Amino acid sequence: MDDQEEVDVTTRSATENTAGRQLIELMAGFWKTQAVYVATELGIVDRIAAAGRTPTVDLAHRTGTDADALGRLLLFLGSLGVVDGDDTGGYALTRVGELLRTDAPDSMIDHVRIYGSHFYQAWDALSHSLHTGRPAFTRVFGSDLFSYLHQNPDVSLTYERAMTASAPFFAEVPDAFDFSRARRIVDVAGGHGALLDEILKANPGARAVLFDAPDVIEETANRPIATVHADRCERIAGNLFDSVPADGDVYLLSRILHCFDDETCHRILTNCRRAMAPGARLVILERILTKGTGSSLTQGYNLHMLVVLGQGRERDETHYRALLGKAGFAVESLHRLPLESHLLVAVPS
């Protein structure tokens, strides 16, 4: 076979197989999730980080894994851009791999942990959600996500850290909204306070309140919000369905409304509206659904909210405007943030 003939065969088969290959890769999506998850859980990533480029046999010895199996895992992770190298010269972490180190300041390890375990298992029961409209998570783990986190403090810690790790766009929030004149910023269900941390760092004159469920507030004792910003941030425990801290001039709702159905969102928004000082602003951070097939992350999250929370969903701009209008707010502005997120500012109407 000459060169010309070979090129023709390759080109023809590539064209013929495009759709089939795409489907095969779609169905093998879980390979990637588990390969990355297991590489972190077995300490392989941290060992590479500590030892530098090490031959696979030595790495297997140090991590208690089978050398041939580990070699295959590393080859696959190499093809995914998580590591680079080879068996004999050893493997190093790429920029993506560096995010998986447990000791990295911007580590995404907890994101990997929760997606590779609890969320992965919940998605295995996706058909339950399709049949019933209810959360697969509850079917698999026996209670709804937030109750489960309350009952399992170690998973709750992982979940809250994962939430922080998945929001690098928090750093851009102080540029998207002017907090400089804020007297009392209330972060409603603010988790571990990572968003407030960014806002307070950028606005030395601002004061804030971190509000969340009692066990989550307890978890924040050693977080920057309770150490670095102790003199400027109050931490208040409570239930956002009952009421939220009063007299704030900025209320933050970051990735909260997408956890709940319209009725529950109405209750939360009404509680914020009631608590607000005159002239206050409501700042919402959410992904916003757009028409078409372009925004796969938001479409995926829309389904993910069904799987893990049942009543949760992503919404389009019209839907948010309607929800806000019903609770007595008008949309003042809308800004784009990275990762398909948006910052929406609303005022009492």
Nearest residue (CB) to ligand SAM, 18 versus 239 = 239
For residues 320 and 238, give the distance between their C-alpha atoms in angstroms, rounded to a whole number.
Answer: 25
Q: How far is the CB of 253 from ligand SAM (least distance, A)?
A: 8
Q: Over the range 286-317, which residues count as b (16 or more CB within 10 Å of their CB) and which as e?
A: bbbbeeeeebeebbebbebbbbbbbbbbbbee
For residues 116 and 5, give the distance between their C-alpha atoms in angstroms, rounded to a whole number.
Answer: 45
Q: How far is the CB of 81 from ligand SAM (least distance, A)?
A: 27
Does residue 271 belong to the site contacting ligand SAM (CB under 6 A)? no
For ligand SAM (CB under 6 A), the number of binding residues is 16
**Binding residue for ligand SAM (CB under 6 A) from 43, 55, 98, 146?**
146
Phi then psi for 14, rounded to 5 degrees?
-65, -40
> Would the CA dihedral through 96, 100, 105, 110 be positive or negative?
positive
Give the position of tokens 């590591």: 83
- Do 149 and 155 meet the contact criterion of CB atoms below 8 Å apart? yes
Amino acid at 52: G
- Do 155 and 144 meet the contact criterion of CB atoms below 8 Å apart? no
Does residue 216 belong to the site contacting ligand SAM (CB under 6 A)? yes
Residue 258 among the catalytic residues? yes
HSE-up of residue 77 (Cα within 13 Å, Cβ side): 32
What single-letter DSSP state applies at residue 168? G
- Do 194 and 219 meet the contact criterion of CB atoms below 8 Å apart? no
Nearest residue (CB) to ligand SAM, 36 versus 213 = 213
**Binding residue for ligand SAM (CB under 6 A) from 229, 235, 255, 304?**
255
Q: Over the range 56-69, which residues count as b (16 or more CB within 10 Å of their CB) and which as e?
A: beebbeebebeeee
Does residue 269 belong to the site contacting ligand SAM (CB under 6 A)? no
Binding mask of the shown chain, residues 78 to 117, with x at each position contacting ligand SAM by CB under 6 A: ----------------------------------------
Span interacting with ligand SAM, options 41-49, 80-88, 212-220, 269-277, rule CB under 6 A: 212-220
**Binding residue for ligand SAM (CB under 6 A) from 108, 173, 259, 327?**
259
Q: How far is the CB of 167 from ligand SAM (least distance, A)?
A: 6
Q: How far is the CB of 305 from ligand SAM (least distance, A)?
A: 10
**Binding residue for ligand SAM (CB under 6 A) from 44, 70, 83, 213?**
213
Does residue 239 belong to the site contacting ligand SAM (CB under 6 A)? yes
Does residue 341 belong to the site contacting ligand SAM (CB under 6 A)? no
Nearest residue (CB) to ligand SAM, 31 versus 241 = 241
**Binding residue for ligand SAM (CB under 6 A) from 165, 189, 208, 323?**
189
- Do 182 and 210 meet the contact criterion of CB atoms below 8 Å apart? no
Active-site hit among 111, 258, 304, 342: 258
Does residue 167 belong to the site contacting ligand SAM (CB under 6 A)? yes
Q: How far is the CB of 159 from ligand SAM (least distance, A)?
A: 8
Does residue 209 belong to the site contacting ligand SAM (CB under 6 A)? no
Does residue 76 belong to the site contacting ligand SAM (CB under 6 A)? no
Contacts of 263 (CB under 8 A, 6+ apart): none
- Give the angle 145-146-152 at the CA atoms, nearest 5°: 85
Q: Which residues are catalytic?
A: 258
